[in-house]
Amino acid sequence: MAELDVEKLSMDVAAQEMLKKAQAEGVETIFDRAKTMKPCPIGEEGACCRICAQGPCRVPKPKKKAGEEEAAEKKQRMGLCGATAETIVARNFARMVAAGTASHNDHSRGVAKLFIEVAHDRAQGYKIKDVAKLRRVARDWDVPLTEGEGEDAKPRSPEAIAQELGPKILAEFGQQSGEINYVRRAPKKRQEIWRKHGVVPRGLDIEVVELMHRTHMGVDQDYHNLIKQSTRCALADGWGGSMISTDLQDIMFGCPVPIAGEINLGVLKEDHVNVVMHGHEPLLPEMLYVASQDPELIQYAQNKGAKGIQLAGMCCSANEVLMRHGVPVAGNYLHQELAVITGAVDALVVDVQCEMQALENVAACYHTKIITTDDRARMPKALHIPFDEHHALDVAKNIIRTAIDNFPNRRAPVMIPQVSSPTIVGFSYETIQYLLGGSIRGSYYTLNDNVIGGRIRGVAGVVGCNNCRTTQDSSHMTLIKELLKNDVIVLSTGCAAMAAGKYGLMTPEAASKYCGPGLAEVCETVGIPPVLHMGACVDNSRILMAATACVKAGGLGTDISDLPAAGAAPEWMSEKAIAIGQYFVASGVYTLFGVTYPTTGSEILTDYLFKGIEEEYGGKWDFVADPEEMARRMIAHIDLKRKALGIDKARERVLFDMEMRRQLEAAAEEHH
Ligand code: NFS
Ligand code: SF4
């Protein structure tokens, strides 16, 4: 194995330590493979079509040699069937949106099915935890909260409400016509834009199916029309499946409120049975959390020589149980192999999504048992203990017991990096409303007031994955720090949020250390971190709700596209990220992606996504690999929106000059 320059691969010292251990032990990871296998340059720009057996057809951008530019430009690039570069690239992009949406919405379907079982008290271990949220959601689905008329009206039981609500929600997956329900949650103006362009989703499954149909050989050959259906499909994710997941998970498992947590590999304990939960659907992790506290199982662990049971999360399953129970997080996406390399993980329990197949090979070098739990996501060599919603607690106990049985099998030298950071998480849309608006007024008015007054310059969503093609977490950190310094408050989800947590940005103390004076003042007054952890990637729906609440609170325009806001996924890698990006763009948000962009093979299409689409939806895509430049563009966009709102003056009054800012930063540094 070639030697790795670990500092270039990850800025996380825990990751660096584990990579060195892996090297010493001859264990190969994604970081090794990234070194030897470079991305295919044609596929990278979306210019390879393999949707029929006459191909794959490649239509790369012509290499321009001196003097040959014009000839090269003129030659029409097409596949065997005549599909143009625009069509080929748009189809590939559309299929990413379809796959991303399918992932979020299939997750959501499982949640809705469980919800119905819980409503009928048929799901062992689960119950309706958040009745207030149940009532709010029921109202949005026109499910009555009372029974009887007038004076005789009595409140309905939570079970009765849930029994009517559940099937109504589940029906939306197969709905064939009309509009999905949560479209009505968006600002009026936004709804009109969607209706005008004919992109309001009819149902959740149909938009994915139609998009797959339209990208089959010889169907839709108009890139604009393909992107239109991609938009409709993506909206069925953000304002559909993802939003449903968030709501129903909150009702069953509790709407997140601020809670303390701990992030990074250091949360694993050498003398404990370590169980890492990796994946996305919090259904089983909720029960693993309960099972891990079972006195009998703790005793069983002690009988095997362990001090106790340490549960830790990985990827979005981690975010879910962190937000609701403060379960510590072992790491984000690129930490999955590294956790196993500690030699201390007794079971790695996976459900669906973002699980590298290489985990099996890495686990084979240690004692770690990989346990698959979902029939949709099997690994050939793993132990399969399928999740069963009717006996979830029994399943969870069985898994914990299996992990305990594996504890005595540890062999290779165990080495857990002593690296972890404290975090305050749990900033659901409702919590932000409560903290900033007060429970009585219950509005985003105070947040708006701070934006209008200029203490907060704008709002940024920094979300998305890790990507082994770039230094782990480094773009997240550079971007976020740059935004905070410029008084832009950051909302975060997914692996980006975990990155922010790992380097201490999710503590209230981070405000004075990293923020400009205005944002620092607001955070210190309210007692919040400057980066607000809003949950898993399906919880990007919480960001949509927060943006809508800002619009509704008044003073910042009449639509999401009027807000001084921008979104970014600087280290994205998954198809889900593309679906998310597309629904943010279609919701009116300037959305920037880093690392690479999947449509660069067609200048016409890319130009439409980066510019033309803004005329239709008020939002647009952008691609910037350099995180500092990304921050500059986001801030410039925020300033443009402030100017359009006529609040740029307010900002100037409180603006410090560079010298004052430097002094302030120096003082803050000293302070820490
Ligand atoms: Ni989101 Fe969460 Fe992470 Fe990316 Fe994967 S875990 S759903 S897709 S890698 S942020
Ligand atoms: Fe080639 Fe057309 Fe078949 Fe694509 S659909 S592989 S461009 S022949």
Would you list the domain boundaries of the chain?
85-146+156-253, 265-409, 421-645
Contact 251, 357 (CB under 8 A): no
Mean pLDDT, residues 410-417: 91
pLDDT value at residue 76: 82
**554 alpha carbon – ligand 1 mean position (Å):** 33
Q: Evaluate: CB of 55 within 6 angstroms of ligand 2.
A: yes
Among the ranges given (135-139, 346-350, 474-478, 646-650), the one the predictor scored with the smallest mean pLDDT: 646-650
Q: How large is the angle between the packed helices 392-406 and 295-303, nearest 10 degrees? A: 20
pLDDT band at 436 (very low <50, low <70, confident <90, very high): confident
Whole-number pLDDT of residue 623: 98
Cis-peptide into 56, omega within 30 deg: yes
Residue bearing the CA closest to ligand 1, atom 7: 537
Q: Is the CB of 495 under 6 A from ligand 1?
A: yes
pLDDT mean over 79-108: 98
Q: Among all ligands shown, which has an atom nearest to the Cα of 278?
A: 1
Instruction: Count CB-CB contacts under 10 A for residue 110.
Output: 18
pLDDT tens, residue by residue, 530-577: 999 999 999 999 999 999 999 998 899 999 999 999 999 999 999 999
Q: Is 316 in the pocket of ligand 1 (CB under 6 A)?
A: yes
**What is the share, in percent, of the chain residues with pLDDT greater than 90?**
88
Q: What is the pLDDT of residue 655?
A: 47
Three-class DSSP category at 473: coil
What pLDDT band is residue 669 in, cutting at 50, 70 and 90? Answer: low
Confidence at residue 662, expressed as pLDDT on a 0 to 100 scale: 61
What CATH fold (topology level) applies to the domain 85-146+156-253? Substrate Binding Domain Of Dnak; Chain:A; Domain 2 (1.20.1270)
Beta pairing partners, 10:
472
Q: How far is the CA of 540 from the centre of ligand 2 (A)?
A: 35
Render pLDDT for 274-309 as a digit per residue (tens, 0 to 9): 999 999 999 999 999 999 999 999 999 999 999 999
pLDDT, position 650: 63
pLDDT of residue 672: 44
CB 82 less than 6 A from any atom of ligand 2? no
Which residue's CA is the nearest one to ligand 2's atom 5? 217
Minimum mean pLDDT range among 63-67, 162-166, 342-346, 660-664? 660-664
Q: If you measure from the C-alpha of residue 560 to the centroid of ligand 1, how many angstroms do you get, rounded to a whole number?
A: 25
For the residues 53-82, what does the mean pLDDT come to? 80
Q: Tokens 């834009």 — which residue?
A: 193
pLDDT reported for residue 355 = 97
182-187 average pLDDT score: 97
Q: What are phi and psi of 133, to 5 degrees?
A: -70, -35
Ligand nearest to the CA of 85: 2
Other beta carbons less than 10 A from residue 99's beta carbon: 17
- 664 pLDDT exceeds 60? no
Q: Which atom of ligand 1 approaches the CA of 580 most closely? A: 1
Provide the CA 147 distance to its chain's centre, in angstroms. 39
Q: Which amino acid is at 287?
A: M
| pLDDT value at 199 more than 50 | yes
**CA distance readout (Å), 444 to 238, 435, 485, 511:** 21, 9, 23, 20
Closest CA to 545 of 187, 131, 109: 187
Are the C-beta atoms of 232 and 203 separated by less than 8 Å?
A: no
CA 325 to CA 129: how far, in whole Å? 13
Ligand 2 atom closest to 50 (CA): 6
Whole-number Å distance, alpha carbon 181 to ligand 1 midpoint, is 26
Instruction: Indicate whether residue 78 lines ligand 2 (CB < 6 A).
Output: no
Atom of ligand 2 nearest to the CA of 49: 4
Q: What is the mean pLDDT of residues 46-69?
A: 86
Read off the pLDDT of each residue in 194-206 and give the average, rounded to a whole number: 98
Residue nearest to atom 9 of ligand 1 (CA): 465
pLDDT of residue 115: 98
Alpha carbon separation from 311 to 153, 276, 296, 599 (Å, rounded) = 46, 6, 16, 41
Q: Residue 402 and residue 385: Cα distance in Å, rounded?
A: 10
pLDDT of res. 491: 96
Dihedrals phi, psi of 314, to nearest 5 degrees = -145, 135
Residue 513, pLDDT above cutoff 60: yes
Query: Of 208-217, 382-391, 602-611, 657-666, which range is least confident?
Result: 657-666
> Could you give the CA distance from residue 62 to residue 69 in angstroms, rounded to a whole number?
9
Ligand 1 centre distance from Cα of residue 329 (Å): 14
Task: State which of 48, 51, 87, 602 you would mutate to test the pocket of ligand 2, scoring each by most atoms of that ligand within 8 A of its C-beta.
Answer: 51
**Residue with CA at minimum distance from ligand 2 atom 2:** 81
Least Cα distance to 58 among 42, 38, 71 occurs for: 42
Which residue, chain included where needed, has tokens 């609500």? 165
Check if the beta carbon of residue 301 is closer than 8 Å to that of residue 309.
Answer: yes
Q: Which atom of ligand 1 is found nearest the CA of 496?
A: 10
Q: How far is the CA of 223 from the centre of ligand 2 (A)?
A: 15
Burial 382-418, CB ≥16 within 10 A → b, else e: beebebebeebbebbbebbbbbbbbbeebeeebbbbe
Residue at token pair 């199916």: 209
Q: Ligand 2 centre from 84 Cα, in Å? A: 10
Question: Ligand 2: which of 58, 80, 602 to mutate, judged by most atoms within 8 Å of the beta carbon?
Answer: 80
Name the nearest CA neighbour of 571 among 462, 423, 421: 462
Q: Where are any strands of DSSP class E within 299-457? A: 309-314, 329-331, 345-350, 369-372, 383-384, 421-425
Distance from the alpha carbon of residue 78 to the mean position of ligand 2, in angstroms: 9
Q: Check whether 652 has a pLDDT greater than 60.
A: no
Ligand closest to Cα of 245 equals 1
Q: Is the CB of 125 under 6 A from ligand 2?
A: no
| Pocket of ligand 1 contains residue 494 by CB under 6 Å | yes
Dist. CA 250 → ligand 1 center (Å): 20
Residue of 276, 316, 336, 356 with the most ligand 1 atoms within 8 Å of its CB, for mutation:
316
Per-residue pLDDT at 653? 46
Which atom of ligand 1 is nearest the CA belonging to 574?
8
* pLDDT attached to residue 444: 83
What are the Cα distances from residue 315, in Å, to 279, 330, 350?
A: 6, 9, 10
Q: Which residues of 25-61 are buried (b: 16+ CB within 10 A; e: fewer)?
A: eebbbbbbebeeeeeeeebbbbbbbebeeebebbbbb
Query: Which residues make Cβ contacts (< 8 Å) with residue 164, sequence separation at least 6?
Result: 138, 143, 144
Alpha carbon distance 633, 70 (integer Å): 32
Give residue 151's pLDDT. 84
Distance of CA 178 to the CA centre of its chain: 28
User: Could you report the per-residue pLDDT of 437-494, keeping only the tens digit for each?
Assistant: 655 555 788 888 899 999 999 999 999 999 999 999 999 999 999 999 999 999 999 9
Q: Give the atom of ligand 2 at the shortest distance from the alpha carbon of 87.
A: 7
- Which ligand 1 atom lies nearest to the CA of residue 466? 9
**What is the β-pairing status of strands 590-593 and 259-263?**
unpaired
| Nearest-ligand number for the alpha carbon of 493 | 1
User: Is 217 near ligand 2, meaning CB less than 6 Å away?
Assistant: yes
SS (H, E, C) 551-570: HHHCCCCCCHHHCCEEEEEC
How far does Cα 225 stand from its chain's mean position?
A: 27
Measure 608 CA to ligand 2 centroid, in angstroms: 23
Q: So what's the pLDDT on residue 85?
A: 96
Are 471 and 8 in contact by the 8 Å Cβ rule? The answer is yes
Question: What topology does CATH give the domain 265-409?
Answer: Rossmann fold (3.40.50)
Q: pTM, whole model, 2 decimals?
A: 0.94
Structure tokens at 217: 């050989």
Distance from the first to the final alpha carbon of the chain: 41
Nearest CA to ligand 1 atom 2: 316
Helix (H, G, I), strand (E, B) or coil at 659: helix
- Written as one string, the DSSP assignment of 43-66 is HHTT-EE-SSTT--EE-PPPPPPT
Contacts of 74 (CB under 8 A, 6+ apart): none
Cα–Cα distances in Å, from 199 out to 102, 229, 250, 610? 17, 7, 28, 19
Average pLDDT, the chain: 93
**Residue 627 near residue 475, CB atoms below 8 Å:** yes
Please report the pLDDT score of residue 65 as a whole number.
Answer: 66
Q: Where are the beta strands (DSSP E) in 318-412?
A: 329-331, 345-350, 369-372, 383-384
pLDDT higher than 50, residue 175: yes
d(CA 71, CA 450): 56
Residue owning the nearest CA to atom 6 of ligand 1: 315
315 lines ligand 1 (CB under 6 A): yes
Place 434 in a pLDDT band, splitting at 50, 70 and 90: confident
Q: How many helices (H) and strands (E) does the chain have?
A: 31, 18
pLDDT of residue 74: 63
Answer yes or no: is the C-beta of 52 below 6 A from any ligand 2 atom. yes
Q: What's the longest Cα–Cα distance across the chain?
A: 86
Least confident stretch, 102-111, 344-353, 518-527, 622-631? 518-527
Q: In 3D, which of 635, 597, 595, 591 has the Cα closest to residue 613? A: 591
pLDDT of residue 148: 87
Q: Determine the distance separating the centroid of ligand 1 and the alpha carbon of 361, expressed in angstroms.
A: 22
Fold observed for domain 421-645: Rossmann fold (3.40.50)
Taking 90 as the threshold, does the pLDDT of residue 391 lie above it?
A: yes
318 phi and psi angles, rounded to 5 deg: -60, -45
Domains 265-409 and 421-645 share a fold: yes
